[in-house]
């Protein structure tokens, strides 16, 4: 008969069934019957690949690499949750993630460590202790094969997490904006008075460590800056890049009208936040402003779906132009000509130099936002 320790517990075991060790827990492993905790819990630092593996089994390690372009952005806008997110060269890790192991599997691995090296390695990197009087906190289960399962509560008790879901809203969903297929914003409802970057940061932002979108049963993990917030804004922005060969974004290369998308945000000390939205009708080709730099007197050409042009001309969709000084102009009054798939605008009344926003809101196609710049003069090439 031999003895092994699990935390503060001493467990007697043998490889043959004996009078003292009669409880079989695995092939050729018998232990002395005694009261043990069901679980051992702790915290772990894990890669994004490990954290999302259960929800995103189709993704590989390389799918979580931070691109060079993202690395440049991170230097300007580093992740605001330094307590939970560790950025190392071209990848992220998550810190302080609650984990648990079953007492039975913990015993099996400790008795035969040569069979479960990945499990033992991860256990040794975490300080585990017996789970007693746990609340409704969600833990990721470390299995014998060394992988983590989805987050789950070990009890029906309420957690000590702060409520925030009812204070937030999903807004400004955009289609085909800039480099993105689909984008949006999460912000506090106006009555909560979160009007500045610092207020958002302190109230919620600095605690966020995970954001995912789920479409067609497949979950997409977002990496900062797929989602981010920055001065002077008071909201969280997110977007799915278009025209890339990265697996994480390809689920939004195509979608169907009415398809449902679920959004989940995790923040330390807060309840999980969920939003569900329904996608608008996609276009057969990506809409765009043909020439994004213009001078006064030149035409501005917008290439969009013929059905949307019909909606605009029949005033079933609205079109506004926001000037550099934040004045709003009626975009339909500037339409000079409409063809099958193009709207041509006059720039004669766009006297301010700088960046303009052209916004279309359609019940069918959702909200579209295009940027263009009016320059003082066109430089000769």
DSSP state of 134: -
Tell me the CATH number at 249: 2.60.40.1300
Query: 225 and 301 share a domain?
Result: no
Query: 6 and 117 share a domain?
Result: yes
Q: Give residue 133's pLDDT.
A: 78
DSSP state of 229: -
Query: 6 and 120 share a domain?
Result: yes
**Upper half-sphere CA count for residue 230 (Cβ side, 13 Å):** 14
Q: Give residue 379's pLDDT.
A: 59
Query: Using an 8 Å Cβ cutoff, are 209 and 268 in contact?
Result: yes
Report the alpha-carbon angle 280-286-287, nearest 5.
85
Query: 123 and 170 share a domain?
Result: no
If phi over 0 gives left and psi between -120 and 50 gives alpha, with beta otherwise, what is residue 164? alpha
Query: 144 and 15 share a domain?
Result: yes
Look-up of token digits 């730099």 = 293
Query: Using an 8 Å Cβ cutoff, are 217 and 57 in contact?
Result: no
Please give the Cα distance from 106 to 83 (Å, whole number).
Answer: 28
**Token pair in block for residue 334:** 């500037």
- Structural domain contains residue 380: no
**Token pair in block for residue 2:** 């031999």
Find residue 142's DSSP bridge partners.
148
Is the backbone peptide bond immediately before 225 cis, with ω within 30 degrees of 0?
A: yes
- Structural domain contains residue 59: yes
Question: Which domain range does residue 19 map to?
Answer: 2-42+97-153
Please give the Cα distance from 364 to 381 (Å, whole number).
Answer: 40
Q: Give residue 134's pLDDT.
A: 84
Domain termination residue (choose one: 105, 123, 153): 153
pTM as predicted? 0.92
Query: 225 and 245 share a domain?
Result: yes
Look-up of token digits 């004996």 = 18
Domain termination residue (choose one: 278, 296, 326): 278
- Structural domain contains residue 196: yes
Find residue 295's DSSP bridge partners.
375
Q: Give residue 135's pLDDT.
A: 85
Low-confidence ranges of the chain (pLDDT < 70): 378-381
- Structural domain contains residue 52: yes
Query: 21 and 148 share a domain?
Result: yes
Q: Give residue 309's pLDDT.
A: 96
DSSP state of 15: S
Domain termination residue (choose one: 278, 313, 347): 278
- Structural domain contains residue 307: yes
**Upper half-sphere CA count for residue 102 (Cβ side, 13 Å):** 8
What is the domain count for the chain?
4
Query: 149 and 6 share a domain?
Result: yes
Instruction: Give the C-alpha distances (Å, rounded to integers) separating 216 from 241, 260, 368.
Output: 18, 8, 23
Instruction: Give the C-alpha distances (Å, rounded to integers) separating 253 from 83, 150, 241, 282, 364.
Output: 34, 27, 9, 10, 19
Helix (H, G, I), strand (E, B) or coil at 372: strand
Q: Cβ atoms within 10 A of the Cβ of 29, count?
A: 18
Query: 88 and 104 share a domain?
Result: no
What's the distance, Cα to Cα, between the start and end of the chain in Å?
87
Q: What stretch of H or E contains 198?
A: helix 197-203
Query: 85 and 112 share a domain?
Result: no
Query: 232 and 173 share a domain?
Result: yes
Helices then strands (H, E): number in the chain? Answer: 6, 27
- Structural domain contains residue 158: no
- Structural domain contains residue 381: no
Query: 10 and 144 share a domain?
Result: yes
- Structural domain contains residue 159: no
Tell me the CATH number at 306: 2.60.40.10
Instruction: Give the C-alpha distances (Å, rounded to integers) separating 31 from 12, 15, 40, 144, 333.
Output: 6, 9, 18, 18, 83
């Amino acid at each position: 008969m031999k003895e092994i320790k699990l935390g503060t517990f001493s467990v007697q075991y043998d490889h043959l069934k004996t009078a003292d060790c009669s409880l079989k827990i695995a092939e050729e492993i018998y232990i002395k019957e005694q009261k043990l905790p069901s679980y051992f819990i702790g915290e772990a630092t894990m890669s994004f690949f490990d954290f999302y593996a259960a929800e995103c089994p189709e993704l590989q390690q390389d799918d979580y690499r931070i691109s060079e372009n993202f690395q440049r952005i991170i230097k300007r806008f580093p992740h605001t949750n330094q307590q939970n997110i560790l950025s190392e060269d071209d990848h992220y890790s998550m810190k302080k993630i609650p984990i648990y192991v079953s007492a039975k599997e913990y015993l099996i691995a400790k008795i035969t460590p040569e069979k479960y090296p990945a499990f033992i390695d991860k256990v040794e990197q975490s300080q585990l202790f017996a789970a007693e009087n746990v609340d409704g906190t969600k833990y990721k289960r470390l299995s014998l094969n060394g992988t983590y399962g989805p987050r789950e509560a070990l009890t029906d008790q309420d957690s000590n997490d702060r409520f925030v879901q009812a204070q937030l809203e999903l807004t400004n969903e955009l289609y085909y904006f800039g480099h993105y297929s689909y984008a949006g914003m999460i912000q506090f409802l106006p009555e909560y008075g979160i009007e500045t970057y610092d207020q958002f940061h302190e109230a919620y932002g600095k605690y966020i460590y995970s954001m995912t979108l789920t479409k067609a049963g497949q979950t997409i993990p977002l990496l900062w800056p797929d989602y981010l917030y920055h001065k002077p804004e008071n909201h969280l922005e997110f977007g799915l890049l278009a025209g890339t060969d990265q697996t994480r974004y390809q689920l939004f290369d195509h979608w169907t009208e009415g398809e449902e998308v679920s959004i989940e945000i995790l923040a330390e000390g807060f309840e999980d936040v969920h939003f569900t939205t329904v996608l608008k009708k996609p276009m057969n080709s990506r809409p765009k402003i043909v020439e994004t730099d213009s001078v006064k007197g030149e035409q501005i050409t917008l290439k969009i779906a013929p059905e949307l042009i019909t909606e605009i001309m029949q005033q079933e969709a609205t079109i506004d132009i926001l000037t550099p000084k934040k004045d709003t102009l009626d975009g339909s009054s500037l339409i000079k000509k409409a063809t099958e798939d193009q709207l041509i605008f006059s720039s004669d009344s766009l006297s301010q130099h700088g960046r303009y926003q052209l916004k279309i809101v359609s019940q069918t196609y959702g909200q579209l936002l295009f940027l263009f710049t009016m320059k003082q003069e066109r430089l000769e090439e």
